[in-house]
């Protein structure tokens, strides 16, 4: 990866490396934008090689910029991806404070940036971890909100708004939804879809989790490698990012992609999906309920209603302008950033 070219093309403000040898902390911090306010930075704990770690931070931070802008929040976008290093140590019973030490070290390292970077949970990180960070820096958000549940409900509501436009029916009864990734957010989405009578097809790399959904919701389980080929109406990526590679696009047999996963497709993938006649409701438009609830201190209904309204507005504009849904969503976010950014910094 040519890092500076990548930063310039995608408009990132900065990329930093953080390390704290005593606790084994090694992390990458990407700040995509602070035009609208301090960057909300999702904190991830993931076992990745160094290049994938950087890519994950660049992708997540870009999504968070657009998510905050579209949700009308006064935040920019960032991401902090931590390498677990000795991951056994983090769960070890003989070292019960290793996790606290790691996250407090992160907070301490980032405290000087607290007016520019606000940390919140993402994959592999819990509200408790963020509360450790909050011991060391005022720059945190979301440690008091169960964002996964709220986000899963918001994705469900956003899916309904988009179904009205794509499937000509807001009801998801009998609609076939393939969910890829059944973690905290994906499972919550599955529950709401099941309650409405959707037909679920599910895949996760953890077989026990799939089995639970087969038993509880009558879902059809598939191998993770095969679910991209599943005939369905809606494909819902809810795993760890990059679930739909460019090469995999021709395998999709859905009419719409709408899930909570950050960055399931690259820009080239978005174009390929459009050419295949599939509507893509982008991550940053549909997965914002948790962030909205944490930022406003509101409940899940209010936050999910905002997602519903936003997705409806995007689909309406897409219909009238004959542009793809994902293009309209990005333009709306970019317009707000550019307009508010043109006012200049507040004194």
Ligand X SMILES: NC(=O)c1ccc[n+]([C@@H]2O[C@H](COP(=O)([O-])OP(=O)(O)OC[C@H]3O[C@@H](n4cnc5c(N)ncnc54)[C@H](O)[C@@H]3O)[C@@H](O)[C@H]2O)c1
Q: Measuring CA to CA, how many Å separate 24 from each of 16, 18, 92, 98? A: 17, 11, 15, 9
Hey, what are 247's tokens? 């090469």
Do the annotations mark residue 158 as ligand-binding? no
Residue spans of beta strands (DSSP E) within 234-303: 234-237, 256-257, 279-280
Hey, what are 196's tokens? 């409405």
Name which position in 61, 137, 147, 306 contacts ligand X (CB under 6 A). 147
**What residue number has its CB nearest to ligand X?**
183
Question: CA 278, CA 297: separation in Å to the nearest integer?
Answer: 35
Part of the chain binding ligand X (CB under 6 A), chosen from 47-55, 146-154, 245-253, 319-327:
146-154
145 sits near ligand X (criterion: CB under 6 A): no
- Angle, CA 324 vertex, CA 322 and CA 327 arms, to 5°: 120
Question: CA 20, CA 24: separation in Å to the nearest integer?
Answer: 6
239 sits near ligand X (criterion: CB under 6 A): yes
Name which position in 62, 122, 129, 136 contacts ligand X (CB under 6 A). 122
Name which position in 37, 72, 84, 224 contacts ligand X (CB under 6 A). 224
Name which position in 38, 78, 158, 181 contacts ligand X (CB under 6 A). 181
- Angle, CA 161 vertex, CA 61 and CA 280 arms, to 5°: 50
Q: Strands 76-83 and 25-33: what pairing?
A: antiparallel
Of 161 and 203, CB closest to ligand X: 203
Do the annotations mark residue 186 as ligand-binding? yes
Site string for ligand X, 258-277 (x = CB under 6 A): --xxx---------------
Part of the chain binding ligand X (CB under 6 A), chosen from 22-30, 98-106, 236-244, 295-303:
236-244
Q: Which of 322, 220, 319, 333 is nearest to 283 (CA)?
A: 333
The minimum distance between CB 41 and ligand X, in angstroms, equals 12
Q: Which residues bind ligand X (CB under 6 A)?
A: 122-123, 147-148, 151, 181-186, 203-206, 209, 224, 238-241, 260-262, 287, 290
């Amino acid at each position: 990866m040519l890092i500076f070219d990548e930063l310039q093309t995608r408009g990132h403000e900065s990329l930093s490396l953080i390390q704290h040898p005593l606790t084994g902390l090694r992390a990458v911090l990407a700040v995509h934008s602070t035009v609208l306010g301090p960057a909300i930075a999702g904190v991830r704990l993931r076992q990745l090689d160094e290049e994938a770690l950087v890519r994950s931070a660049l992708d997540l931070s870009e999504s968070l910029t657009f998510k905050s802008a579209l949700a009308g929040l006064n935040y920019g976008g960032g991401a902090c991806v931590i390498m677990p290093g000795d991951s056994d140590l983090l769960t070890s019973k003989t070292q019960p404070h290793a996790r606290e030490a790691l996250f407090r070290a992160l907070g301490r390292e980032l405290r000087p940036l607290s007016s520019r970077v606000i940390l919140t949970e993402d994959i592999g990180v819990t509200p408790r971890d963020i509360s450790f960070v909050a011991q060391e820096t005022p720059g945190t958000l979301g440690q008091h909100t169960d964002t996964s549940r709220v986000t899963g409900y918001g994705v469900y509501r956003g899916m309904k708004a988009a179904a009205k436009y794509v499937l000509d029916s807001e009801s998801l009864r009998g609609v076939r939804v393939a969910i890829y990734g059944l973690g905290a957010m994906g499972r919550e989405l599955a529950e709401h879809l099941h309650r409405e009578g959707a037909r679920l097809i599910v895949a996760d790399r953890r077989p026990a989790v799939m089995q639970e959904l087969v038993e509880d919701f009558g879902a059809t389980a598939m191998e993770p490698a095969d679910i991209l080929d599943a005939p369905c109406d809606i494909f819902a990526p809810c795993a760890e990012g990059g679930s739909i590679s460019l090469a995999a696009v021709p395998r999709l047999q859905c009419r719409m992609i709408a899930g909570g996963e950050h960055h399931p497709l690259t820009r080239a993938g978005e174009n390929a999906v459009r050419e295949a006649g599939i509507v893509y409701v982008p991550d940053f438009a549909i997965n914002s309920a948790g962030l909205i609830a944490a930022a406003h201190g509101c409940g899940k209904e209010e936050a999910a209603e905002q997602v519903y309204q936003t997705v409806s507005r995007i689909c309406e504009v897409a219909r009238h302008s004959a542009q793809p849904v994902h293009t309209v969503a990005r333009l709306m976010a970019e317009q707000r950033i550019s307009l508010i950014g043109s006012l200049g910094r507040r004194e």
